[in-house]
Chain A
């Protein structure tokens, strides 16, 4: 690990895992079939951005992908000086059901814009819970971007912190299959 890399990436990923677990329990009483699988992986970079390909997460099934970036403060956000990225992957076939389990109103799962919107909505609440978890763990309050969402893949990749080489991948199973995958890349977050 390069000395500049975030030594607390695993701790940050655990905060994400616990927050996501709590969110689903609070909101939807969804029980994950087994504890989330957390794995450290190397970031695949393309022209300075992190590759975010959804189809490879679910055996080439069509997938919706949503991403949010984090920044140390509003000034960095304006300058696009990215500290972290959280990417959410949900298989197309399960997105509407997952949102219903979270008690969101039904929507037309054949309507592309409604699917993109719902994946972004899910990304937003997971990222918001993570941001609160980070703050409660004694780190500074991060700034968070609005979500961006695509079907299958982010064509230009996702911005991430250039000092980082690794990310954590978290897989959540519902009804005995992986239905939600999160990826977290994060530079060192200053403590308060």
Chain B
């Protein structure tokens, strides 16, 4: 829990407004009380992390994004001790084993991998141990 017994926030990084909306709607619909922060690009997410890393308890990260991809974002953040321990879950349109392996190689602490389109149950199954 963050200061003042507030649950930590979930940072959603996806270039699609609709995908971010869907994630928030599905999570709220399943009873998740955490607040959300949003970023449309990897660069924007790095800026958010840079100033608010201690508020963030979980990152839901898209793979295909313009300029900085989800993989490039992970490569950058795993080197920063303050945020390297923040769990990251990839939420992406392609769910091959090879993609999962690539993501885990870049980030050995990758907390999970969700393939779009997902069901509310499958989403909650993956993220439940990281949210309070």
CA distance A127 to B21 in the complex (A): 20
Judging by beta carbons under 8 Å apart, are A105 and B18 in contact? yes
Does A135 touch B at the CB level, under 8 Å? yes
Of B31-39, B91-99, B103-111, the one contacting chain A is B91-99
Interface: B6 (CB within 8 A): no
Name which of B22, B64, B95 has the most chain A CB atoms within 10 A of its CB.
Answer: B64
Distance (Å) between the CB of A139 and the closest chain B CB?
11
| Nearest opposing residue in chain A for B116, CB measure | A125
Contact with B along A1-44 (1 / 0, CB 8 A): 00000000000000000000001001100000000000000000
Which one, A113-121, A167-175, A177-185, is touching chain B? Answer: A113-121
- A45 at the B interface (CB under 8 A): no
Contact flags (1/0) for A143-179 with B, using CB distance below 8 Å? Answer: 0111100000000000000000000000000000000
**Cβ-defined contact, A141 with B22, below 8 A:** no
* Whole-angstrom distance between the Cβ of B41 and the nearest chain A Cβ: 10
Q: Which residues of B contact A104 (CB under 8 A)?
A: 18, 21-22
Chain A: CB-nearest residue to B65: A146
Counting contact residues on chain A (CB < 8 A from B), the size range is 20 to 34
CA distance A145 to B69 in the complex (A): 9
- The CA-CA distance from A121 to B19 in the complex, in Å, is 7
Q: Looking at the complex, which one of A26, A99, A124 makes contact with B64 (CB distance below 8 Å)?
A: A124
* A145 and B17 form a contact (CB under 8 A): no
A51 beta carbon closer than 8 Å to chain B: no
A131 to B116, CA, bound (A): 13
Residues from chain B with Cβ under 8 Å of A145 in the complex: 64
Q: Which residues of B contact A132 (CB under 8 A)?
A: 94-96, 115
Contacts of B18 in A (CB 8 A): 99, 104-105, 107, 114, 117-118, 121
Which A residues touch B94, using CB under 8 A? 128-129, 131-132, 135, 144
Q: Report B67 CB to chain A, min CB distance, Å.
A: 9
A110 to chain B, nearest CB (A): 15
With contacts A23-B117, A146-B66 taken as known, whether A114 is within 8 angstroms of B17 at the C-beta atoms is: yes
Closest residue on chain B to residue A28 by CB atoms: B117
Inter-subunit contact B93/A136 (CB<8 Å): no
Contact with A along B1-36 (1 / 0, CB 8 A): 000000000000001111101100100000000000
In the complex, chain A residues whose CB is within 8 Å of the CB of B64: 124, 128, 144-147
6 cross-chain pairs, A with B, having the tightest CB-CB distances, nearest first: A128-B93, A128-B94, A27-B117, A135-B96, A141-B98, A121-B16
Q: Which residues of B contact A (CB under 8 A)?
A: 15-19, 21-22, 25, 64-66, 69, 92-96, 98-99, 115-117
A-B contact pairs, 15 of them (CB 8 A): A102-B117, A104-B21, A105-B18, A105-B22, A114-B17, A121-B18, A124-B16, A124-B116, A125-B93, A125-B116, A128-B93, A131-B96, A132-B115, A144-B64, A146-B69
